[in-house]
Amino acid sequence: MNARFYQEMAEWWPLFSPPEHYVEEADDLLRRLAPLPPPGTATMLELGSGGGSLASHLKRQFKLTLTDLSEGMLAQNRAVNPEAEHIAGDMRTLRLHREFDYVLVHDAVCYMTTLADLQAAIETAAVHCTRGGTVIVLPDYVKETFTPGTDDGGEDAPDGRGFRYLEWKWDPDPGDTTYIVDDAFLLREANGDVRAVHDRHIEGLFPRATWLKAFEAAGLSAKTDLDAWGRDVFFARK
């Protein structure tokens, strides 16, 4: 994983992907998990929880344990979700020696660029899921749904800072298991100074069947469905 954005630029995360961007996605996820137990009675572990934007909409329902490889992102996460437990760790190797009712892996799973990485992350999810529990994994793409293209956005802060980005997704070698995301960032400081930053991310891309085999190898019975945005949502039972 290219850690530049998630480390030295982590303080800009709230202007790149704030909680208000995740309202519809969180509602969709909760609807898919229904029927749910009473709020606050079930536990959820999120692997690769980033800045906590999605988790901010789940904490009313679950007791959250939020993990991430980046200390910078965990700092942002703690500010948004102070009620949750926060733990630094790699989703490929993390072992908390505890089990949870739900284990969630959002788009951070895209940084699993080899089959070994993917299998390790799913194995971590399985190890931490209680018998009869649910594992949910939401990659940005599987091989069958990837399309190259661009996105843009950004937000302004009350202190005068501003953030804008252009994100370019492309796949130079359709025969391998990765694609490239090139980000161009414009960062405006509170005093009006603006600087440009290029950040490249190498992300994993696997066929749907490979995902399902990885779940099976981890002892999970999985199925997939497309969400409202055309993305695969993998649900697995232990």
pTM of the model: 0.96
Domains 10-142+207-237 and 149-204 share a fold: no
% of the chain surpassing 90 pLDDT: 97
Domain boundaries, the chain: 10-142+207-237, 149-204
**Which class is 149-204 in CATH?**
mainly beta
Q: How would residue 80 be classed by pLDDT, with cut points 50, 70 and 90?
A: very high
Mean pLDDT over 70-81 rounds to 96
The residue behind tokens 């490979």 is 210
Give the per-residue pLDDT at 133. 97
What does the DSSP assignment read for the chain?
---TTTTTTGGGHHHHS-GGGGHHHHHHHHHHHPSPPSTTSEEEEEES-TTSTTGGGTTTTEEEEEEES-HHHHHHHHHH-TTSEEEE--TTT---S--EEEEEE-GGGGG--SHHHHHHHHHHHHHTEEEEEEEEE--S--TTT---EEEEE--B-TTS-EEEEEEEEE-S-TTSSEEEEEEEEEEE-TTS-EEEEEEEEEEE---HHHHHHHHHHTT-EEEEEE-TTS-EEEEEE-
Homologous superfamily assigned to 10-142+207-237: Vaccinia Virus protein VP39 (3.40.50.150)
For the cut 70, the answer to whether the pLDDT of residue 25 exceeds it is yes
Give the per-residue pLDDT at 3. 57
